[in-house]
Amino acid sequence: MKMPEYVQQVIDKQELHILSTASKEGHPNIIYLKFLKVYDEEHILIADNKFYKTEANLTENPRLAFVVLDEENHAAYQLKGSVEFHTSGQVFEETRRWVLDEQPHPDIYPKSAVLLHVERIYRGTEQIREQ
């Protein structure tokens, strides 16, 4: 689905993001991370720098959810969708450059790029539809 511009802006303003995944048995895992951004109007790019349980969960069950807070408008948006891993090619190289430009630290290096295909967006219990 195409993300509304106002949701994209909220995502880009937020510095830390909270991701939720689950194993194929349904065991949840929640992490926070810095390297998440809008890739295009239908995708979110996530750098896999130090995923462990998250990577295992996404390998078994390639779905995730994350939430962003729009403090100015007192709203929160939950985005859900399916993911694909990129360990080479254009998406991975873009991610590698992004991480190294933003965080030139020897311990921070992307193992892969995770591209989330946004399938649903919620504000509270209300699902936001494509516009």
Domain 5-86+115-124 carries which CATH code?
A: 2.30.110.10
Domain boundaries of the chain, sorted by first residue: 5-86+115-124
pLDDT digits (tens, 9 = 90+) for 22-53: 999 999 999 999 999 999 999 999 999 989 99
pTM for the full predicted model = 0.93
State the Cα angle at 123 between 121 and 129, rounded to 5°: 45
State the Cα angle at 128 between 115 and 55, rounded to 5°: 25
Cα–Cα distance, 120 to 12 (Å, whole number): 18
pLDDT digits (tens, 9 = 90+) for 92-131: 999 999 998 987 677 788 999 999 999 999 998 999 987 6
